[in-house]
Structure 1
Amino acid sequence: FSMEQYYRADVASHGRSQLLVQRAIRAAGHCEFSDAEAGAAWDDLVRWQRTGRRPLGDDVTSPATLADPAYGCRFTDPSAYATGTRPLYSACPA
């Protein structure tokens, strides 16, 4: 996850923060996104390109935000919870 923070800092250092949207998914494996998560991200990216409406994302730097027990739940597909590394994380609060 620290690489997401470094990536955000690097993008900001080049004055391009407005072009970056990051989303936290409760999984540790590389490319462990569910079909629903990848599809939603792709649809949002295409919509952004077509309409100029920037999609929602997650704050990856604020310690208070990262400490929230619900962090990473907003874009995580609950139906994929039992797969991959997801069981290593607490279930998202209901």
Structure 2
Amino acid sequence: MAHIKLTNEELPGIVGLLNYSPATAKPLLELANVLLREDNTLSRTEREIIAATVSYRNDCHFCHTSHAAAAVAHAGADVRMIDDIKAGLVETTVSPGSGLC
């Protein structure tokens, strides 16, 4: 439950907070774009796996499934990868040459 009285409490996850304050939403979305989409030393798949793992451990279903679905899409993997992220990547190899980098 949010500690801020949201304008629209029906919006899931961080979407409600972004809707509540467009002035702060803009720089937060720009930061997310830099962290998750712009080229750097980690692949997009790896960054989405990290975001999905953190979101899962923070017990945020919306963010976890959003980031995990993005990781699956970037990896071209089976949707079962979402459960594997929850399990700590028991089945999924994330290293150079794995197809995920």
The structure with more helix, counted as a fraction of residues: 2
User: How does the TM-score come out when normalised to structure 1?
Assistant: 0.31
The structure, 1 or 2, with the larger RCO (C-alpha pairs under 8 Å, 6+ apart) is: 1
Larger C-alpha radius of gyration, 1 or 2?
Answer: 2
